[in-house]
Amino acid sequence: MQNMIKTLQFYFEFPFVKYAVIVGILIALCSSLLGVTLVLKRYSFIGDGLSHVAFGAMAVASVLKLADQSVLVLPVTVITAILLLRTGQNAKIKGDAAIAMLSVGALAVGYMLMNVFSTSANVSGDVCSTLFGSASIITLQVKDVVLCFVLSAVVMVLFVVLYNRIFAVTFDENFVTATGRSANFNNLMIAVMIAIVIVLGMNFVGSLLISALIIFPALSSMSLFSSFKSVVILSAIMSVICAFAGILISILLSTPVGATIVVCDMILFLICFVIGKVKGA
Amino acid sequence: MLDVKNLSIGYEGKPVAEDINFSVKEGDFLCIVGENGAGKSTLVKTLLRLTKPLSGEIVFKEEGIGYLPQQTVVQRDFPASVWEIALSGNISKLGARPFYRAEEKKRAEDNLKRMGIWNLRKECYRNLSGGQQQRVLLARALCASEKLLVLDEPVSGLDPKVTAEFYELTKELNKSGITIIMVSHDIKAIMEFSDHILHIGRDNVFFGTTEEYLKSSIAKEIGLNSGEEG
């Protein structure tokens, strides 16, 4: 135990470890806030599809040798999110197929581009870290932390300000339209927020794992609580705890950060699920 | 308060029902009836601006409509308290504000009391019975509009006793001055309290008072007035 604390103390003297904790908690918080809406609206797959599109965009950005990849990745993901959520509204049969097509397509194109126009000696390493997050968190720089801080502040403020509208649109979009207000603006804002969260989380836990951060805390919390507000708050708390625990464990056991956080989320989900079942019975 | 002229409705350019004309005045109780697939729900969606009309015009004097939709799969296991749902009926009154004001909360409280479910306010919506859920959605609809309610097949899936209670409730709301448009396939039951009927059939559309409807050829076809004449 004492050894563990010593190890942690040693690591926390490095600024990049502190950065990782800050970034991780911010991302976990933002993603869990939106997760509840996405899961309830039956849009869980959109997070997955979007993260693959973001991967493709990132590959294009690295081929173009852009200094700041988010300049390209963020707008592309936002636009895709808007398009996907719009087709999702009048859910036709092809809706889920469209998402699957888009996400696999983006993945394939991204991987191909990274291979053909490889800029580094270790292509598979690059791909792996884009998909599953950086194996080490040493790469985080102050400017990443600042960007993450600003964007997650935007998401959180938007979420609080739009909270009542998000609830109404999530529960019953037709009702909102019938009262004479357009639900489009709210859907647009939800799409923008999701895209931001995915782009943020991608660098950290990787594009394959980010949708786990979105979905798991929401599901855990939904199996325990029954009002929307408590579900949202609890899923944020659980997500932050899992992210924090995941980072600490990954430092101690030298496991990949993203995967460790997701495993923590999964374990917590199993616990919540069992408690929910026992309580329900 | 509502005028519909030469309306054609349908999906993706394919008409479901054509040449619909009717009007609703304040305090009316209009029932929309017709066979399955005749376009009742499409008409409601068109009135609520959820679907675009193929042609014709819809003129509303009121801005907000209290809508009681058919339940969706999403809602059946939605984690939300009764209070949260009723309060969300005030959504159109939010304007540019982020949060609800005290008067909007009062409104939600009043309407929950009116529906007799104030004691359930902290309950989870998904744990309620079908009849209670409909009351919650009715309270929400009343928050959205004190003047016009649109109810889409409100009693489907409810047992006979709860159905009768729900009809009583709508009757009382109508008596207190609220205009009601209700879609139903339960023609016999609604005869009692609706004053106007809009019948959408495959090839003909009827609109008139309930008395006129009983004398019409459509009513004869489905054997509604056989008892009176016999």
What is the predicted ipTM?
Answer: 0.87
The answer to whether residue A280 sits within a structural domain is no
The verdict on residue A154 lying in a domain is yes
Domain boundary, last residue among B120, B144, B168: B144
Beta strand pairing status for B179-183 and B66-68? unpaired
pLDDT tens-place string over residues A206-239: 888 888 999 999 999 999 998 999 999 999 999 9
The structural domain count of chain B equals: 2
The pLDDT of residue A134 is above 70: no
Q: In which domain, by residue range, is B205 found?
A: 1-65+146-230
Q: Let me know whether B9 and B49 are in one domain.
A: yes
CB contact under 8 A, B88 and A164: yes
| DSSP letter, residue B89 | G
Q: Summarize the confidence of residues A202-209 as an average pLDDT.
A: 80
What total number of domains does chain A contain?
Answer: 1
Q: What is the pLDDT of residue B230?
A: 32
pLDDT on residue A231: 95
- pLDDT tens for A62-121 read 888 877 777 888 899 998 888 877 765 555 545 677 788 888 899 899 888 888 887 666
Q: Which two tokens stand for residue A164?
A: 């009542």
| Residues B60, B82 within the same domain | no
Is residue B52 assigned to a domain?
A: yes
Asked if B154 and B173 sit in the same domain, the reply is yes
Shared domain check, B57 and B151: yes
What pLDDT, on the 0 to 100 scale, is given for residue B17?
84
Give the pLDDT score at A281: 64
Residue A254 located in a structural domain: yes
Look up tokens 């869990």; give the residue: A32
Across chain A, mean pLDDT equals 85
A193, part of any domain: yes
Contact between chains at B50 and A228 (C-beta distance less than 8 A): no
Grade residue B227 by pLDDT with cuts at 50, 70 and 90: very low
CATH number, domain containing residue A100: 1.10.3470.10
**Which structural domain, as residue segments, surrounds residue A162?**
2-274
- pLDDT for res B214: 80
Same domain, B96 and B43: no
- Are B4 and B107 contained in the same domain? no
Burial annotation A227-255 (CB, 10 A radius, 16+ → b, else e): bbeebbbbbbebbbbbbbbbbbbbbeeee
Residues of A in contact with B83 (CB under 8 A): 227
> Do both B61 and B150 map to the same domain?
yes
Together in a domain, B116 and B222: no
Question: Over 60: is that where the pLDDT of B225 sits?
Answer: no
For residue B182, tell me if it sits in a domain. yes
From the list B69, B94, B122, the residue facing A174 with the nearest CB is B69
pLDDT score recorded for residue A272: 95
**Residue B27 distance to chain A (closest CA, Å):** 19
For residue B92, the model assigns a pLDDT of 86
A161 part of contact set with chain B, CB < 8 Å? yes
A126 occurs within a structural domain: yes
Q: Please tell me the predicted confidence (pLDDT) of residue A226.
A: 87
| Mean pLDDT value across residues A29-51 | 87
Domain assignment present for residue B111? The answer is yes
Q: Name, of A129-133, A166-170, A269-273, B156-160, the range with top average pLDDT.
A: A269-273
Contact list, B92 vs chain A (CB under 8 Å)? 176, 179-181
Tell me, yes or no, whether B70 lies in a domain: no
Q: Are residues B219 and B151 in the same domain?
A: yes
Pairwise CB contact (< 8 Å): B81 & A160: no
- Residues B140, B150: one domain? no
Cβ within 8 Å, pair A177-B91: no
Last residue of a domain, one of B84, B112, B144: B144
Q: Is residue A29 part of a domain?
A: yes
Cα torsion through A33, A36, A39, A41, rounded to 10: -100
**What are the tens digits of pLDDT across the range B109-122?**
999 999 999 999 99
Q: Are B86 and B196 members of one domain?
A: no
Q: Span B101-112, mean pLDDT? A: 94
Maximum distance among all alpha carbons in chain A?
62
Looking at chain A, the whole-number percentage of residues with pLDDT higher than 90 is 31
Interchain pair B50, A179: CB under 8 A = no
Cα B154 from Cα A162, distance rounded (Å): 30
Q: What is the pLDDT of residue B156?
A: 82
Q: How many helices (H) and strands (E) does chain A have?
A: 13, 0
Domain boundary among B95, B129, B144: B144
- What is the dihedral sign for C-alpha B70, B76, B82, B84? negative
Q: Count of CB atoms within 10 A of residue A46's CB? A: 26
Does residue B46 lie within any of the structural domains? Answer: yes
Out of A41, A161, A168, the one facing B91 most closely (by C-beta) is A168
Provide the pLDDT for residue A88: 53
In 3D, which of A156, A192, A235, A211 has the Cα closest to residue A43? A211
What pLDDT does residue A41 have?
83
- Domain containing B37 — which CATH number? 3.40.50.300
Say yes or no to pLDDT of B66 above 80: yes
The residue that leads in pLDDT, A249 or A187, is: A249
- Asked whether the predicted pLDDT for residue B55 surpasses 90, the reply is no
- For residues A68 and B160, the model is more confident at B160
Please tell me whether residues B89 and B193 are part of one structural domain: no
Give the model's pLDDT for residue A138: 60
Q: What percent of chain B stands above pLDDT 70?
A: 95
Establish if A117 belongs to a structural domain: yes
- Two tokens, residue A127: 């791909």
Q: Does any domain span residue B127?
A: yes
Answer yes or no: is B115 within a domain: yes
B38 inside domain: yes
- Region B113-132: mean pLDDT is 91
